[in-house]
Amino acid sequence: MQTFTGLVSVLLVFLWLGGNLVSPLRPICDLRVLDHFVREARDSEVIMRGCRGGCGAMKSYFVPLTSVDFAVLEHMDVNGQAVEVQTGLSLLDQALSNAMKTVSNSPLANALDNNISNIHSLGQILHSLDLQARSTVLPDDSAPASTQTQEVSSLPELLQVQSSFLRGKVRLLLSAAPACQRQNS
């Protein structure tokens, strides 16, 4: 009997730990991290412009919408923004991974790889700010284009979308994150 209760208690502990997959992170509110990612996304665009051969096949990619209307943004809540950003990051991650498969140019491939890892880091940052969407299910390629997505037909366009998305929606979300607001005030 005693061993049984002991086991149960141990199990409960494990379940509780399992509930929290990752230990809570300190909120990363410094936007210079994001600025670094933005610069690296811009570097990919530059490399793309100078790429001659092995620069990826013409392929359509589903990418998030990047446009920001400040008037609309003011009325939007943070969680809504967080969902939008999370979804968009997932889309970009997928698209970039698909694109990298067709790229043989090594500088470009390295740049793309860099961008992908940056997007993963952004996910962590959002998680630290408690803004990560609960549902992390990524839509597959065959999923219909939602109102929040658009289609691009080339890698340069994809990179441009990535750059705009990071500078716009992601940045605005991070600057508006409540966890960072509490720190500042």
From 70, 75, 134, 137, residue interacting with another protein (rule: CB under 8 A)? 70
Which parts of 94-113 interact with another protein (CB under 8 A)? none
Q: Does 62 bind another protein (CB under 8 A)?
A: no
- End-to-end Cα, the chain, rounded Å: 53
| In contact, 94 and 138? CB cutoff 8 Å | yes
Greatest alpha-carbon span in the chain:
73
Q: Does 160 bind another protein (CB under 8 A)?
A: yes
Q: Does 145 bind another protein (CB under 8 A)?
A: no
Q: Does 114 bind another protein (CB under 8 A)?
A: no
Q: How many residues bind another protein (CB under 8 A)?
A: 24
| In contact, 45 and 167? CB cutoff 8 Å | no
Residue 67 neighbours by CB under 8 Å, 6+ apart: 168
> Pattern of binders to another protein over 27-56, x per CB under 8 A?
----x---x--xx-----------------
Residue 27 neighbours by CB under 8 Å, 6+ apart: 128, 129, 130, 177, 179, 180, 183
- The window from 65-73, 83-91, 94-102, 109-117 that contacts another protein (CB under 8 A) reads 65-73
User: What is the binding site for another protein (CB under 8 A)?
Assistant: 31, 35, 38-39, 65-71, 73-74, 150, 160, 164-165, 167-169, 171-172, 175-176
